[in-house]
Structure 1
């Protein structure tokens, strides 16, 4: 029995020690996890604190309250107060340093593309970002956090802080944590980045790690227990029998140590609870906890500030609450009833509350179940944010949009915005929808206009309308590439231009017919000479043949001269017919010398009749133009005839017509000058208008037709005062080919 009792005692003792050790392992594991969670939260709060300081710098910079000197002063103050911050800088969207403290602080980041990309992204898209760990010269492993400076829809760069992971551990890991654990950071590949004390962190059952975000990128906070394990009992029965008393004392000592650790854990839990309460009180969103009957259990400071009431006056109260606005009381009652039923949508509720002073404000309320530590549903937690200013801004934006739409729909031009990739119609005004028959609820479609970067006139074959179309590339509100198209209906203008062109063509024909009467006399004079020559040659040939005094060679020469005079007469008649004939403009290569010769032959009769002396300065006779020869002949003929008629009242010795052709920097100038009385300066601007004339019997269409023909050839026609008296009409035509 004693042996059995001893064996049973030892068995019970071994079982007791085994259970104690198992409980101790569980307790240590729980304490390890709890301490790691607390420490991770503390370190993350410090990193977020640095981010909030960067946010304050960004806000001051956007408002214009932060100069370069002020930045250096605040950076120095922040780095002296926070040992983990080793460098600060303001970077642009390309990651280039605008300000940096100390100097060249961003150069180590720029050498690490993986670290530079988040900084550039923060400066480009306007969102906070962090970098993966990387080595910083003289510091060791660091991470960088970047907070953008956003002004409206424009990002003006990002403020960057470089944080040393070693200094973060040295500064913010308390001594009691460092005494119990080896604490450090490991990357996504489980490699040690930084540790306190500095040695690799093993991945063992006595370790626990948790994701550390920011910065993220697989970075984890790991803690490894420093206490030694339980001794290995190779000969458990022998040593238990030999050291039973020692084991009893040992077990008591272990129990005492366990109680001490529990006390430390409770104090740590109390500190964590206080920290959580401080975090809750620092929130700007109001938090309200109620039981399942709607009775208020807890309200944070932010909510009390919203409604202007002390927490003691809220606790224990039930709906209807005093902070409900009377005009919205029914709505508030419906919302809280829905919350008590568990009917809380993901996008929350919009409510109107009132403060103690009677001021109304709008909130956005979100609700979720309140679960206690035992997993029981004990009530509801509601978080709410003051959205009064946000709603006011939205209403102002809506009013601005309505004004914009009203102005856009009031335009006579059709305006549309289309996506450059898909061609989807993003925006259009009423004129556009009516012109292309889309309707207010019509389908979105690709704009049926010209190709990208096109402009000019476009014909709608379905509606039969003409539009003046302008298109340019621009950015849409979401920064996507779009086309802005503006189409103006020019159908009536084109019809008027066509009618004017047709009338001008009829007037040109009329002018040619009128000129035909004047040319008739010159035609008789020009034909008399070749006809007289033909008659003379024929009579001579008959006399010589009758007398037998002519050889076959002489007869052939005489007949050739008769044929030459016949061709000359035919050419004169053909030129007159082409000049009078009505036809469409036809471009072809024409030599300037030939054109001038034809015009001079037509002007020969009036030149002789009025004793006008012709001065020719033909410096560009060999130049060829692609033009309608007959039209240009008509222009020169009209200008020459006008010049001759302008000198009728002058002395015969002063009547001088100058015809000049010259080249000038890619242009050909045809100048017709006279020595007449000149043109009154008051009449110069009206000279080329239709139906304006200074002649008693003139129609007033000659110069207008001349200018129309010249402009049809992409040229210019103008008049100048001639030195010594008279006028100079200048026709300037381009030498190179141009689209008509």
Structure 2
């Protein structure tokens, strides 16, 4: 069995167990024994037997065994060997039973019956024990023969004297036990012996240095009996290492502060609660034109510009009152000649000390006259950088030095990604070098350029931008920087394209409205005419008239739905999606197309799958999307070697979705442009808006559908495919 599980089993037992190895050395304690004796199991491992059993030379098995605890107390216990089947070989376990005090406490009644001298002795001893137990000092009392008569646990712990040495009470042995801890053992022994020879002499704060770096202070005095005869000495030790380290750190800190105070380029002042500087360094003297003696007589209000006094005083009072930790302001100081010096003042409360009363203020003053002038000049530039337009500052060679937040929003690049790079990072692939040569020529001549260019965003997309570039000159007239201010024209162009598209859509909707309303109106006219004819001939039965009226009502509702969808369209509203037959919708799309094209002849074909399920869609938007795809295919023109445009629209059921494929045999789209075909404002047609396909893609995504492009294999031409989830049958 492994050691860890075995110790876990011992810890679960309800009695104290001590483990010894074959040589009689302490090996372990279980949790009950640790709680009883104060030692940890690892503390005793490998230690001699008499650490716990002072009077034992071999494992004690008896009724009254004296047991020594870590805190110096002792108790009696009955011990017996304990057999544990899981114990490792060579391990002897000792079980402690009937634990009890060494001596029962003497009842108060028996104390009261003692003679007065004995009673006084009892109380004196009790007082001594209480003092030993509660004092923070390490204390030992020894007679003139170096016999230790009393000590506290702090003394044993401070010096780490073995219990067996303390048990013998031999002071000389105790001194010998600590000599290897001392930096000057010979001097220590000599002084102890000298003090024993002069018991009437008191010792105050002798420093004792230990090799482990600790520093002790020792106090001692002779002990007298009632007759005034000295019979021994009481020794008091306290560990002052932390205090000495703090004192040394304080001395070093004060030295550093003094060096900084005297040599700092910043003005430094220590200001009291009366607002007068207690100290002022040379830098502040030079800045204010007054020496330290003069400044110490003046409240800071007297050398502060009048308009800045109230704010500075109020903030200082808040710091002194504990309402704030510090403050920083720019303020104006007055020189003896009446001049004004701008300073940036940082004020905080100095650490409190025990001797100096309320802590003063520490003021750091920076001469910011030049900085203030520069900040005033840059205020306008800061306003520009906070604008909604992108701002970029470059060197003459185009290296980007600074950008604002709007730059990141418009281009997608963060400041960290562009700083140190040239502005060529923002140019699209295949840009026209002549355009940038013209821009540079304008900057060289007029110092500014303004116009529209095509920029590149971080994601690679193209972006129309309106750009203003201004050259910045130094005092010698040389161009040192360029400032670019630009805005994104994408939305503006999309809105213009949308207006153009909607204008064209009105014409298409006129044809669509005429077509969709003509059918129900013709049906209404037919049913009404048939019913009137039957009435004129006298053969109209109630059933026949009822059937005709129901059909008229049905066609009227159909016409009403067309008008309702049209109203939704012009309001920009989306009507509730409804079950839609894509085959029927494609027939209505083909009915809207002109019979021929002025540009080139075309041939349209429908290849519709039979018995296709319905889809849930906004039929008006979907019809607009399908019409746009077919018109795009027609306007693409015929393919190589063909005289007319050939477009085939097919429908199929694919993986639980209805798919529409618009297949053309036109010139196709080059591979480099296929990834951009769905980007806003991208177009391959002269006069195109570049928003038709992005709108189609958006319509499909709104209705849980998908639109994509495939190159025909074999060519020529391309196929646009869209899918919509099929409704359950």
- Give 1 or 2: higher helix fraction: 1
Q: What TM-score, normalized to structure 1? A: 0.39
